[in-house]
Amino acid sequence: MRLTHAFAFVLALGIIGTACAPAAVSPAAPAAASPAPAVASPASAAASPAAPKPTTPVQLTKVRMSHAGAQTFRLPLYVAIQNGYFKDAAIDLEVIGTSSGSDAMKMLAGKAVEFSTGQVLDAVNLNREGINIQGVAMLTSKLGNSVIVRKAIANEIKSMADLKKGLNRTVGVTSVGSGTWQFAVYMGLASGLTKEDFNFIPVGTGANVIGAVKAGRVDAMSFADPENFQLVESGDAAFLIDLTDVATHKKLIGDTYLNNQIMVSSDYIKQKPEVVQGFVNAIQRGTVWASEHSPEEIAKLILGYEGFKGSDEALMVKSLRRMITAIPKSVVITKDAFDNAMKFPVAIGVLDKPMAYDLLVNTSFAEKAAAQYPAKP
């Protein structure tokens, strides 16, 4: 797996060839007194090991995937990378980081990558442009987003209505049109507001989120763990809306939600179905491993991933505990999770009515993967 960031680094994986050891040679038998040539006995011939057959290195298929920074709601992906599941599937994966989910989708639309992670609305937007993109694997089954407000003004902010731009408030998102923007707009609608009522500030991901809140560039931040949780833990912010609370999630969203998914173009599915299957197999193995291990064990594993390096281990464990109910045992995208996710584009006015499940979702690869790599009951 190679990790490339739009601004930074590439983590390279190579194929390590294993040279075959030369065959052992039995010492020659001592010459007999008779001039007749010596003949090896059947027993001694059997004792000599046969020369091993040369091994052929597995040919890996180069695959590129875009995504908007390391987030715990993509947990099965990082587990699969760290445990070598993509290499097991004969895939040489390069992960390309972007500043937002929208940018990641642009790379998929432009065929700069073969796979991407993203939201349902991302697939909706591309399909409306005539680019048929399908979700093939679910990464988490609940929406883990949250809205936090700066601690200094937390007593003044009781609902999304208190964040209106008419009150000179600003709301940070990764970018306009991204999943974090969609969530903020949807939560605003619940308070009787429209997207025009907010002053959204694009801040990107990762350290930029932390910096924007601490520096007071934004009054509120629509994002997710670990950044939002880290800001609350450090005393810089307070939760206004936190969907990792099961009761809150059920009230505002429903029981399940297609939070993030692996997406690929229909053309690539037709051209290389075996690669798509191998990719989804790796994700399924990742979610099974995550569902069967503790937050402490998961944290130790994924902190080795380049995007999480330098993160506080104790904080990561706490963040993983908050999302434990969102780890699916199967990466099959369910109709119920899809329907709840489709509420967003309809509610914010992108669609008049939901797009068809069969158009945006292909479950065939995930169903095969779940059958081959089932989770424990």
Q: Which two tokens stand for residue 57?
A: 């290195």
Q: pLDDT tens, 57-93?
A: 679 999 999 998 888 999 999 999 999 999 999 999 9
Task: Tell me what pLDDT residue 56 has.
Answer: 59
Sheet strand arrangement including 61-67: 2-5, 91-97, 61-67, 115-118, 260-265, 133-140
Q: Give residue-wise pLDDT tens across range 270-311.
A: 999 999 999 999 999 999 999 999 999 999 999 999 999 999
What tens digit of pLDDT does each residue of 143-183 get?
A: 999 999 999 999 999 999 999 999 999 999 999 988 899 89
Whether the predicted pLDDT of 32 surpasses 50: no
Residue among 122, 180, 117 nearest 360 (CA): 122
CB atoms within 10 A of CB 241: 20
Degrees to nearest 5, angle at CA 258 with 133 and 245: 155
Q: Is the peptide bond prior to 37 cis by the omega test (within 30 degrees of 0)?
A: no
Q: Do 200 and 102 meet the contact criterion of CB atoms below 8 Å apart?
A: no
- Name which of 139, 377, 376 is nearest 279 in CA terms: 139
Model pTM score:
0.78
